[in-house]
Amino acid sequence: MLALLASAAAGYLIGTVPCADAAARLATGGSTDLRDRGTGNPGAVNAMAVLGTGWGGAILAADLAKGALACTAGRRLAGPAGAHAAGTACLVGHCFPVWNGFRGGKGVAVSLGHCAATFPAYLPIDLGVAWYVGKRTGRTLPGTAAASATWVAAGLLWWRKGWPNGWGPAPSAALPVSAAASSAVIMYRFLTSKRPVAAAAPA
CA distances from 25 to 9, 18, 37 (A): 27, 11, 14
- pLDDT, residue 56, reads 92
For the segment 132-183, what is each residue's pLDDT rounded down to a tens digit? 999 999 888 999 999 999 999 999 999 999 999 999 999 999 999 999 999 9
Query: Which is more confident, 71 or 193?
Result: 71
Q: Is residue 166 assigned to a domain?
A: yes
Q: Is residue 199 assigned to a domain?
A: no
Q: Is residue 183 assigned to a domain?
A: yes
For the segment 11-47, what is each residue's pLDDT rounded down to a tens digit? 999 999 999 999 999 988 888 888 888 888 888 889 9
Q: Is residue 187 assigned to a domain?
A: yes
d(CA 14, CA 6): 12
Alpha helices in the chain (DSSP H): 2-15, 19-28, 44-50, 53-95, 108-118, 123-137, 140-161, 174-192
Residue 87 has pLDDT above 90, yes or no: yes
Q: Is residue 90 assigned to a domain?
A: yes
CA distances from 155 to 54, 160, 167, 193 (A): 34, 9, 15, 27
Q: Residue 19's domain spans which residues?
A: 2-192
Mean pLDDT of the chain: 92
Q: Is residue 120 assigned to a domain?
A: yes
- pLDDT, residue 30, reads 83
Q: Is residue 203 assigned to a domain?
A: no
DSSP-based three-state secondary structure for 187: helix
Looking at the structure of the chain, the number of domains it has is 1
Q: Is residue 198 assigned to a domain?
A: no
